[in-house]
Every structure is written in C-alpha cells, then in structure tokens.
Amino acid sequence: MSSINKLLDIMQQLRDPETGCPWDVEQDFKSIAPYTIEEAYEVADAIERNDLSDLKDELGDLLLQVVFHSQIASEAKEFSFDDVVQAICDKMTRRHPHVFAGASINDAEAQTKNWEALKSQERQQKRQLKTSNEFHPEDSILSSVTAKLPSLVRARKLTKKAATVGFDWTDAGSVMHKVDEELSELKEAIESDDQEHIAEEFVDLMFVMANLARKLKIDPDACLRSANQKFIRRFNFIEKSLHTKSKSLAEATLDEMDYLWNSAKRQEKTYKEKNNQ
C-alpha cells in the first residue's frame, strides 16, 4: 500500500490551497469529469494497440482520476479514497456469492443472471424509504445505464439490460431482418426529402445496428474507433503518395485519390496475408 499512499499524499499536496498547484486547486468534480472519460478511452486505445507499456501509463492516469475525485470529496467531508475502496470491495463480495459465500453457480450465463438479480435487489433496497407506489424512472432496470456514456455504447447497454428480462430478438438473423426493414424506411425518408424524417429513420437504423453488434458479440464503439484509425491510415497513404509526386490534395482528382485508397487496401491485405502464414 506504500505506492498508493504516496499517490494520495501527492494529490493532497497538489490540492493544498496555499502551497499546491493553482490548476489542481481550482478543479471540482464537474471540471475533471471530461478528463476521467478521456483517460478511460486512452486505456481502451492502449489495449487495442496491444501496447502494454502505454497501458501501464494510461492505467496510472486513470487511477489518478479516482484519487483526484476522492480528494475533492474528502475535502468536502463526503467520503475518502478508503471509502471508495471499501465500497467496491463490499460490492464485489456481495455480487459474487459463489466465490465468497459458498453459493453454487454453474456457468457464466447463470452468473450474469445472478448479477442482474443482485443489482435489482440493491435498487429495491435504495427505494425502501419511498412511501408512494407510483413508478418512477429510477425504478426502471434501465436506470443503471448512465446517460453520460457515448450514445453508441449506451444503446448497446440499454438493449443488453432489456434482454436480461426477455425483451430481445431471438438471434442475429432476426435482427438482420429488422436492419433491412429500417434501411428501406431510411431510403423512403431520403426520397421524401424530409430532413427530420431522414434523421429519425437514420437513428432507428443505428440503434438496430447496435443491437446487431450485441448479438454478434462485438463492441460497436471499439469497432468504430478501429474504422476511424483505418480511415486515417489509408487517407495518410493518399497524402504521402501525392506528396512524393509534389502534388497537393487540392490538385488531385477523385479518381486519383480513389486509386491510391485502393492501393492502400491492397497493401494492408498483402501485409495481413504474410503475417498469417
């Protein structure tokens, strides 16, 4: 624990009103929340690149965010870093009775169902003080899916949560039929030239695609990040190729850029084939 205590001491010194860092002293929960989200994405990026050295650094940056939030809370006498650790230890012990309490769970699927059941019990316990029988949004099983998530990630999580109570398509094939249906509706909307209708149908298609990703057991947000990187890589190839010819993007025709794009694709395919041999 000496290392974490050292980090806690560093953060306490950074937040000292008289001798600390002015920037750190000025921060609050809301101002550093975007950095917390950014650091989580940088952890995911390091994992996708399989850069373990970078992952070590990014995990440290993410840990710092937890320490930062905890220090602010401690100054407000709300909770401390120790309270954060104790809370997650209690939660993990409570939600894994098959490991810590002698309960029997056969497989991962049964564990997932049990996990959701335990979370539901926790939500009910939090509502015990309510005297009204009226349904509130926070009573929903969907309430645990935070609105702060990226929309694509949240769509996947919302439908996954609904699936735990049986509100789901039977398989990926049934989702594909819905994809075809939504695509046809989008085409009709485009023909109508009604921008509001187009946006509505486009979003419906995206939402169904998030469902399809869940059924195919892939992370749509991670896939989109990968697609972004692939686009950057291939477009950089176009820029580099034109640069060697002393030609700018503005001077190149679409046919030229398309040819170079396809050249980049061929190079990537050849590279993959060589590495898979």
- For 185-229, give the DSSP string: HHHHHHHHT-HHHHHHHHHHHHHHHHHHHHHTT--HHHHHHHHHH
User: According to DSSP H, which parts of 127-150 are helical?
Assistant: none
Give me the pLDDT at residue 49, please: 83
Retrieve residue 248's tokens. Answer: 């700018």
Domain ranges of the chain: 2-94, 97-144, 151-215, 220-276
Retrieve residue 57's tokens. Answer: 């650094």
- Give dist(CA 197, CA 192) in Å, integer: 8
Give me the pLDDT at residue 128, please: 59
Tell me the fold of 151-215: Helix Hairpins (1.10.287)
Q: 2-94: what CATH class?
A: mainly alpha
User: According to DSSP H, which parts of the chain are helical?
Assistant: 2-14, 22-26, 29-48, 52-75, 81-94, 97-100, 108-126, 151-163, 172-192, 195-215, 220-244, 254-276
Give me the pLDDT at residue 238, please: 96
- Give dist(CA 141, CA 165) in Å, integer: 9
Residues in the chain where the model's pLDDT stays below 70: 1, 103-104, 106-133, 135-137, 139, 277
- For 1-20, give the DSSP string: -HHHHHHHHHHHHHT-TTTS
Give me the pLDDT at residue 133, please: 65
Give me the pLDDT at residue 130, please: 56
CB 190 within 8 A of CB 198: yes
Helix, strand, or coil (residue 249):
coil
- Give dist(CA 35, CA 30) in Å, integer: 10
Give me the pLDDT at residue 1, please: 58
* Degrees, nearest 5: CA angle 75-81-82: 120
